[in-house]
Amino acid sequence: MADWRVIEGGITAPKGFQAAGITAGLKPSGAPDLALIYSDCEAIAAGVFTTSHVRAACVDYCRQRLEARPSARAILINAGQANACTGNQGWVDTVESAASLGSALNLPPEAVLIASTGVIGQRIKMEQLKAGIPKLVESLSSEGSDAAAGAIITTDLVPKSVAMETTIGDRPVRIGGIAKGSGMIHPNMATMLAFVTCDATVSPTLWQDMLRRAADRSFNQITVDGDSSTNDTLIALANGESRTPAITDEGAEADQLEAMLTAVCQYLAKCVARDGEGATCLIEVTVTGAVTAAAAGQVAKTIAGSSLVKAAIFGHDPNWGRIAAAAGRAGVTFDQSDLRIQLGDFLLMEHGQPLGFDRPAASAYLTAATQGDYLKTDTVAIGVSIGDGPGSGQAWGCDLSYDYVKINAEYTT
């Protein structure tokens, strides 16, 4: 049973964090486009970044910064220009952005991390960014999470934010997070960005290990169509302001903190998948009976990413054959006579062979899930078992609709 609860406040729910979001004139649309996350004291910082060999300057910058010293005071995020494929000038702009914000905050530039999202091949509009910094700093507030969440989105339909609270050593510990992205893919190949704040006291290596594992069970398990981006960034700060005992080793308290961190990341990851381009529902795939959790996760992600499965769900077609075929090609060895497939409450296949089931009712289940308010709650649940092993895992995606093609065919760089 989860021993945390969802609370209000987003990334400013944890003690000692402030945030801000303003319109600096980076986006042509005039929407908010510059965000700041600020810790009142030095925070342990961990990061997980895109594995692409074509990366934005800010990704290389943050990775180098965190390798040199795993801490930070502030994260500056601009939306509008991805600053990827911008060569040496992109690097210079990133360094200058950090220096400008550091100067305004009376911090050394090394205390500032940078993330960018927007159009690939476009430099950050530095003049607007630098002109906006004083207003941004002035706007910092311990209730600024929503403003920051709204300033990092690009084509997202909704901002994505959550906060949770647990108790460690009789004191409350909180984690908050915001994210942006319409899935791993995006009409302008912008980015999946997520930022997490925490007021626990935790050692840097443990925090990095926790974040890596949480990312593997959340953001790394969502897919819209597998087009991971040049700017994908997840950064988590922990500033110790909860004044709880330091967590420096694996153990019960570390497990508790990691479970809540994972829950925050999974919540945000599901928000991103649900907001996938053209999506009408969230698809949640749960795989059990695998030899390892990694194998289960791989099968789950393959099913969630199958265009045929996604199109069938959009068409309200309980097409178990496509789920079986996707499981079979996932690169995980299993005996096909062990395959069991469930859609919602409908058992479609067992022992590797199709079962009779109420097809109109199963189709109605999909119709209901794809015609409600998908940005809020509607989920299609696919359950797959591939044996009697102890490994289980989940993945999340969305259906494939006409609007996906429309959005991506009609966009022009």
Give the C-alpha separation, 152 to 76, whole Å.
10
302 is in an annotated binding site: no
Cβ nearer to a copy of itself, comparing 104 with 324: 324
Q: Which stretch binds a copy of itself (CB under 8 A): 41-49, 119-127, 174-182, 264-272?
A: 119-127
Does residue number 314 form part of the binding site for a copy of itself (CB under 8 A)? Answer: yes
Q: Is 379 a catalytic site residue?
A: no
Does residue number 25 form part of the binding site for a copy of itself (CB under 8 A)? Answer: no
Does residue number 185 form part of the binding site for a copy of itself (CB under 8 A)? Answer: yes
User: According to CB under 8 A, which residues from 42 to 61 bind a copy of itself?
Assistant: 50-55
Burial of residue 384 (CB within 10 Å: 0-12, 13-18, 19+) is: buried
Say which of 94, 117, 191, 288 is annotated catalytic.
191
Cβ nearer to a copy of itself, comparing 206 with 299: 299
**∠ CA(229), CA(231), CA(232), 5° rounding?**
75
Give the C-alpha separation, 182 to 194, whole Å.
12
Does residue number 371 form part of the binding site for a copy of itself (CB under 8 A)? Answer: no
* DSSP designation for 224: S
Which of left, alpha, beta for 233 (phi over 0: left; psi -120 to 50: alpha)?
A: beta
By CB under 8 A, how many residues form the interface with a copy of itself? 65
Query: How near is the Cβ of 271 to a copy of itself at its closest, in Å?
Result: 21
Number of H helices, E strands in the chain: 11, 15
Which of left, alpha, beta for 387 (phi over 0: left; psi -120 to 50: alpha)?
A: left
Binding track, positions 230-259, relative to a copy of itself; x by CB under 8 A: x-----------------------------
List of residues 6+ apart from 165 with CB closer than 8 A: 4, 5, 7, 13, 172, 173, 174
DSSP-H helix ranges across 235-340: 252-274, 293-305, 307-314, 320-328
Q: Of 326, 343, 362, 369, which lies in the binding site for a copy of itself, with binding defined by CB under 8 A? A: 326
Q: Which stretch binds a copy of itself (CB under 8 A): 17-25, 126-134, 282-290, 318-326?
A: 318-326
What sign has the CA pseudo-torsion 61, 65, 67, 68? Answer: positive
* DSSP designation for 247: B
Catalytic residues: 191
Interacting residues toward a copy of itself by CB under 8 A: 50-55, 84-87, 119-121, 185, 188-189, 225-230, 306-308, 311-312, 314-315, 317-322, 324-330, 332-334, 336-337, 339, 349, 351-354, 400-402, 404-406, 408-413
Numbered residues of the known binding site for substrate: 154, 180, 191, 277, 408, 413
